Chain A
Amino acid sequence: MTRREFSARFFRDPGAIFAALLLLTLVMLAVLAPFIAPQNPYDPMQIDIMNSELPPYWEPGGEEQFVFGTDAQGRGVLSTVMYGMGISLMIGVGAVMVQAFLGITFGLLAGYYGGWIDSFLMRLADIQLSLSTLMVAIIALAIFQAAFGPGTYESLALYMLILVIGIAEWPQYARTVRANVLVEKKKEYVDAARLTGMPARRIMLRHILPNTMTPLLVISTIQVANAIVSEAALSFLGLGMPVNRPSLGSLIRSGFEFIFSGQWWITTIPAIVLVLLILSINLLGDWLRDTLNPKLYKGH
């Protein structure tokens, strides 16, 4: 499919346009948060505990200064959500980069060398896929937290989340890349290169990487959404980002107890933003998959 066909199909699909605009808006809000957010929630000077638990401005008692109200510490919900979304996105994208790096490397190794390396890596992938990512991440983070103690852990949480979610999900990439290498390996030029003593490896890479771009792009889109969900879940359990540097998941966690006493906005606003963020990525991912229709690896 040419670039022109691709964009033509995009602009004919209102669902895709909607999802892309939504995602773009959310990402811009997160990226530009330091410049456009009404408050810096990390700056104690800007936070006044007297402002805590204010409702959104359209409710009685709300103040125009805090459009979506404030949380228990007096931080504006709009500002915390904008900053929090940035952290969620950073972890999501970071984790997927780790996944892609590990997966592509292992996939190339398994496909190219075959033999026991292939069997070992693919067996490992099977086992890893059969264990739930979330389970592995919960256990790993729980151990880290217990080992480091909560204080040290909090300062490392961002990296731990990226690493753990990244390491737990490489098999998807590895299988796709490996399948592609196996297809390439059967082609004549590889034999020809071998016979003439040329380095087949480099030539193969040059063929394989463009071939796998489409499936990897589709996988990556969905994986970013999954990583953000995983991060939110882990933070919600208290194993992720700390309250003083919250992601969307930690914001929902800290607001949870307030839904029983009527301060719904503290948890609902970040929850809605989280759902919109994941939904827009998933919609785009679905659209990409249907449009580009790559051969994705299916189990068995």
Chain B
Amino acid sequence: MPLLEVDNLEVSFGKHQALRGVSFTLEKGERLGIVGESGAGKSMAAFAVINLISEPGRISGGSVRFDGRDLATLPPEELRKVRGDRIAMIFQDPMMTLNPVLTIGTQMVETLQAHREISFAEARRIAIEKLDLVAVPSAEARFDSYPHELSGGLRQRVVIAISLLCDPEIIIADEPTTALDVTIQAEIMALLIRLCEDTGMGMILITHDLAVVSESCQRLAVMYAGKVIEEGAVNAILQAPQHPYTRGLINALPQMNSRGGLLTQIRGTMPGISELPEGCAFHPRCDFANAACKTAIPELRPLGAQNVACIHAGALKETV
């Protein structure tokens, strides 16, 4: 049984569905990349896993099986014990993630004390150890710093250190490098991969960059308009994408193309949650769409090594 099994997860805001069915699995120590355009619902999927959707949104269907329990229906106190302890999260913008009026130390110690019966001195020792682990220079001094005294890259290291405090089994990283300088992005990504490999921690990496996933993850889930439309091993999908949208994404990657080949963009734009078309949400942009695509919403179903949500999947091979 996988460590985490997300099955057909749905999130609604009033009468609009923001997530229309998110499914993926994660084995112990495995790394999964969730990819999609902005607005596809990647970040919301990440927050929905730990059941942290802001009002007025709510999980309206599906399940998140973790360690034999469904996080989507867990009572608040049980859920709290999972968050930060067994599943930790790294947010997108380190400038906004840390509380400006509390020291780094306070924000670390409180996390440990929320999950362990532990003295301040012991918590402080662990916190400094983790700061060292993520290569924060002069960790002891930083313990008493306020967030605004640190650079963006350093703050993201602190956020990573906080997420590591309780040695979680899964770490969810929501575009952890997007808000950082380009020069630091690779460093932080490398740090995350190294930490996962050293500790056997699993990771869900939310990103819009397929290339990053191909370098760092074993599994891949592609999202479009609030739905996972293709999911499976990274290599399998990159070599033989089955969904027309995935295919379009890969064709738009410079490094996937032969030298001198054309970079192809997918025409049109992704619809918002209030203006979804009938049937397959991708059909207005899809070159393979026919009448059937305009009526039925395709479900994710196994096809070879991966799962695909497209009624044409399997029949497209020749037309690449």
- Within the complex, are A and B direct neighbours (CB within 8 Å)? no
Mark B residues whose CB is within 8 Å of A: none
Mark A residues whose CB is within 8 Å of B: none
